[in-house]
A and B are shown apart, each in its own frame.
Chain A
Amino acid sequence: MARAVIECEHVVTGYPGNPLMRDVSLTISEGEVVFILGGSGCGKSTLLKHIIGQLPTLGGTIRILGQDIATAEGPDRDRLLRTFGMMYQSGALFGNLTVLENILLPLEEFTPFPEPLRRAIARLKLTQVDLLDRADAFPAELSGGQVKRAAIARAMALDPKILFLDEPSAGLDPITSASLDALIKSLSRNLGITVVIISHELASINAIADRALYLDRTVGGVLDQGAPAELRDHSPHPAVRAFFNRAPNPGDLP
């Protein structure tokens, strides 16, 4: 069995004074493509912020590659942060840098590589996301899909072991969305990267998810988890089946 790269044990998520989930426990293994699902506002992005150490949890422990991110400090924490890449929903590219410079930035800061090698890595990353022809463009000149691709390339600049993607296909047309899915799948398959995705796109989930975790506020944690087809047809929870069948719960209808 592949080793666990992310482990959450009895994590209480939310902001001080506004807890969202009271007990999230989950394990994500190396090389998996995992989707975190749940209704709007249930706290998926907040959970992601806890996992990447951007927001302290209200309780419980989160371990990335066996190391507790809450207690890691100084160089240990920096080293841990460099084991994963994060793609924000908006892309969060630096507007005053070109696409290539955006990807060069972490390489310049964190690697001792000479300039030609850094540039070769950055251009290779852009090739992997099929965006080499836009290397010298500024983020404002990119389309929505290109911004997402550039953001994925930047998240991958340091060859992370884990890639976190927050709504990668939100606002994209189905074809661009499908090509992004194919890209994510190929990254996972070819480079062995663990990919954790927050998304509502059923097409993406069905196409590339190895496993999906369904968060629910009423139970305050993971309601159900498994392969998408299994959840759609055999989940004991009506809410999960309803999600996958794109139909509201009969009880929720007015």
Chain B
Amino acid sequence: MADVSISLPEELTRGSVETACLDANPQAMYDCAAVRHADGAGLAFLWLLRGQKRLTGTLSAELAKSLEAFDAAQAALPKVTPPPKEPPLVALGRAECELFARWGEAIAYLGETLCAFGTLFRGHFRWGDCGLAFFRCGVQAVPVMMLIGFLLGLILAFQSAIPLQLFGAESFVGGLVGIALVRELGVLVAAILMAGRTGSAFAAELGAMKVNEEIDALETMGLRPVRFLVLPRVLAGTLALPLLSLFVTFAGLIGGGTVMGILGFSGNYYLDQLQLFVDLSDVLGSFCKAFAFGFSVSAVGCWCGLRAGRDAGAVGTATTAAVVTGIVSIALLEGLFSVVFYAMGW
């Protein structure tokens, strides 16, 4: 088969290269004597054939010159030697150092954000931005929060009614729903929804600003991004979550009440149950948690946005990090509050 010879046409374009490629058998030789013009694909094809020593005939001076220029450009490339591989212990140490450095940055950011709260009534604070953020993360979230809360109460009551009926204790469903929603679930579900809805939005917003160099512009003007961008958002998130958790809890109680009604209990009985099992300390405790969760979700969202890279994928990465870290921070704070409340006897 080695003696198969294909004559290349005068105009070696992408189309004729496609034909030559599709027809080719791997041993065919190509005669380039007729070729006068070649486009990019044609030139690359000639270069490849010449490298494989499958080109016969003499190239025109112009084409030969183009190929020489390509060869020269390749030869001029600096030889890249890959950096030597680090020993595992060194790599581990470096990763640890980077981790500690990141924690250090996070603590510095937390400190700066908390200090920025101290400057709230000093100087020019952007209350308009704060109001807009509050509207977006608070007011606009009310319908979805109410819906999820109602369904949560409904499901909780139904699922608990079934085993409690076995013991003839279904009259306590109201108390169970009340305690679960007011003490834990209302605020927890509101916080997780906020992490998905608002934490990600803050990260995407600030991440896009980072990509567009808007944050660099702020710093160049001598404005601190934390005070200018983070504070209004964190304040809005911190104030919005307690209110949203109230909505979730309230809707959940209505859901629980609906099930109680279906089970044949009166509204008054349900309210008595709630009063019996839920007291003011439960409400105050969940309010404290809501403030802390609101702060952590919005602060983490902004932090992930500010730390975003500068390419298009960076915004997506920042958003994912904001939601995941936000939910982890909620879980950590929840654990902390449980221990503290236990110690306080709440």
Contact = CB atoms under 8 A, between A and B. Distances in A.
A140 B47 contact: no
Interface in B125-167: none
Interface string B11-47: 0011001100110000000000000000111011101
Nearest to A128: B40
Contacts of B76: 133
A83 to B, nearest CB: 11
A132 B76 CA distance: 10
24 contacts: A96-B311, A96-B312, A111-B18, A112-B21, A112-B22, A113-B17, A113-B18, A113-B41, A117-B17, A117-B44, A117-B45, A123-B44, A124-B40, A124-B70, A125-B40, A127-B74, A130-B73, A132-B74, A138-B311, A140-B310, A140-B311, A157-B40, A159-B13, A191-B39
A254 interface: no
A127 B69 contact: yes
Nearest to A116: B48
A159 B78 contact: no
B73 A117 contact: no
A113 B73 CA distance: 23
Interface string A170-214: 000000000000000000000100000000000000000000000
A132 B45 contact: no
B22 A159 contact: no
Interface string A108-123: 0001111011001101
A95 interface: yes
Given A96-B311, A121-B41, A124-B43, 19 more contacts: A95-B311, A96-B312, A111-B18, A112-B21, A113-B41, A114-B21, A116-B48, A117-B21, A117-B48, A120-B48, A123-B44, A123-B70, A123-B74, A124-B44, A124-B47, A128-B40, A132-B73, A132-B74, A159-B39
A132 B80 CA distance: 13
A158 interface: yes
Classify chain B's interface size. Answer: 20 to 34
B77 interface: yes
A156 interface: yes
Contact of A95 (B45, B73, B312): B312
B18 to A, nearest CB: 6
Contact of A159 (B21, B40, B73, B310): B40
B44 A159 contact: no
Nearest to B69: A127
Interface of B: 13-14, 17-18, 21-22, 39-41, 43-45, 47-48, 69-70, 73-74, 76-78, 310-313
Nearest to B22: A112
Closest 10 CB pairs between A and B?
A95-B311, A120-B44, A121-B44, A159-B39, A127-B73, A95-B312, A159-B40, A124-B44, A132-B73, A159-B14
A127 B22 CA distance: 26
Given A156-B40, A159-B41, A112 B18 contact: yes
Contacts of A116: 48
Interface string A128-139: 101011000011
Contacts of A128: 40
A130 B70 CA distance: 10
Nearest to B71: A127
A156 B45 CA distance: 16
Contacts of B40: 121, 124-125, 128, 156-157, 159, 191
A191 B47 CA distance: 17
A125 B44 CA distance: 9
- Among B13, B18, B41, chain A packs the most CB atoms within 10 A around the CB of B41
- Among A95, A116, A133, A159, chain B packs the most CB atoms within 10 A around the CB of A159
A119 B70 CA distance: 13
Nearest to B62: A190
Contact of B313 (A96, A112, A113): A96
Contacts of A112: 18, 21-22
Contacts of A133: 76-78
A127 B312 CA distance: 27
Contacts of B77: 132-133
B70 A127 contact: yes
Contacts of A191: 39-40
B195 to A, nearest CB: 26
Contacts of B70: 123-124, 127
A139 B311 CA distance: 9
A117 B311 CA distance: 30
- Among A96, A113, A123, A139, chain B packs the most CB atoms within 10 A around the CB of A113
Interface in A58-92: none
Interface string A8-33: 00000000000000000000000000
Contacts of A156: 40
B82 to A, nearest CB: 12
B41 A111 contact: yes
- Among A112, A114, A121, chain B packs the most CB atoms within 10 A around the CB of A121
Nearest to B77: A133
Nearest to B40: A159
B14 A111 contact: yes
